[in-house]
């Protein structure tokens, strides 16, 4: 496991103990990093505070990634408290529930805008604010979470698939733009995991079963396995890797049938 002692990171996307971002936060804290953990709104504040207490000397801060002012305040506080930043874990995604059950052709303009704004643009918005803090540390690593629905059609994933395609393209453009400052940008494409976000996708249980039957490893994956890959992408072992989409899906994406 990577040694992240002396490093500062921010983790966005923790809702509860099932959140993939929480598994990553735990691993990063265990590896020695000091973390800023954010909560989307007051509804999730207590959850995140309780979990954060299990990490070493955390900062717990509000941040709705759909608001520039909230992002400005988050990064100002990180700058003041940490004086720099080594890594960002971006695990925020959202689409209005109606868009994840109806026919794709019925996607509303507002649903499209919200899904792309929260799930894709927010990575760019965070990277822009992290950039000067990472330059001060001589570089950094930005990791986001995506899904194969960006490339292939999964029933009911709908506009979230379009948002993940935009997210993955943003990873490549950010990697190209920030690479000269030694800032790496990568994504992990996770297999299905039962989390709060996943419960919003109609028929999610069927998807889990199909993965179990057809993935080369013949099983589903655990959030801890995504966290282990995230530790690789954050840490020095991956110092030559950027603009990459790393699949942690028991190999499902390789199967033709
Ligand atoms: P989750 O519900 O635990 O996490 C989603 C997070 O997004 C929540 O913490 C929520 O508060 C946050 N969020 C939504 N809108 C936000 C906003 N406006 N501002 C700030 N935060 C906001 O579910 P998860 O499955 O852990 O999702 C984490 C990431 O992993 C997402 O990008 C998701 O698409 C991706 N992913 C999940 C799966 C899966 O099967 N669970 C598979 C592949 C990728």
User: Which tens digits make up the pLDDT trace of 229-247?
Assistant: 999 999 999 999 999 999 9
Kindly state if the Cβ of 91 falls inside 6 Å of ligand 1: yes
**Where are the chain's structural domains?**
8-251
User: Which tens digits make up the pLDDT trace of 65-87?
Assistant: 999 999 999 999 999 999 999 99
Tell me what percent of the residues of the chain surpass a pLDDT of 90. Answer: 96
CA of 196 to the centre of ligand 1 (A): 8
Torsion of CA 229, 232, 234, 235, to 10 degrees: 160
CA of 16 to the centre of ligand 1 (A): 10
Class of domain 8-251: alpha beta
Given a cut of 90, whether residue 200 has pLDDT beyond it is: no
Question: Rounded to whole angstroms, how far apart are CA atoms 118 and 99?
Answer: 14
Provide the CB-side half-sphere exposure for 31 (13 A, CA).
23
């Amino acid at each position: 496991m990577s040694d992240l002692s002396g490093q500062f990171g921010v983790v966005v996307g923790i809702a509860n103990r099932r959140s993939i971002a929480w598994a990553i936060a735990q691993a990063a804290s265990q590896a020695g990093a000091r973390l800023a953990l954010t909560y989307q709104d007051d509804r999730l504040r207590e959850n995140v505070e309780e979990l954060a207490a299990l990490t070493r000397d955390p900062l717990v801060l509000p941040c709705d990634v759909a608001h520039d002012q909230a992002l400005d305040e988050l990064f100002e506080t990180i700058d003041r408290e940490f004086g720099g930043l080594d890594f960002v874990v971006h695990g925020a995604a959202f689409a209005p529930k109606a868009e994840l059950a109806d026919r794709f052709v019925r996607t509303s303009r507002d649903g499209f805008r919200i899904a792309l704004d929260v799930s894709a643009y927010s990575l760019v918005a965070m990277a822009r604010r992290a950039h000067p803090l990472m330059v001060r540390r001589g570089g950094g690593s930005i990791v986001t979470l995506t899904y194969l629905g960006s490339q292939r059609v999964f029933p009911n994933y709908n506009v979230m698939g379009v948002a993940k395609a935009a997210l993955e393209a943003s990873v490549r453009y950010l990697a190209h733009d920030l690479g000269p400052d030694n800032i790496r940008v990568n994504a992990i494409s996770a297999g299905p995991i039962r989390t709060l976000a996943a419960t919003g996708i109609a028929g999610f249980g069927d998807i889990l079963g199909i993965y179990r039957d057809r993935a080369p490893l013949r099983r589903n994956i655990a959030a801890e396995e995504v966290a282990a890959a995230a530790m690789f992408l954050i840490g020095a072992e991956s110092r030559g890797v950027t603009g990459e989409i790393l699949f942690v899906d028991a190999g499902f994406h390789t199967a033709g049938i």
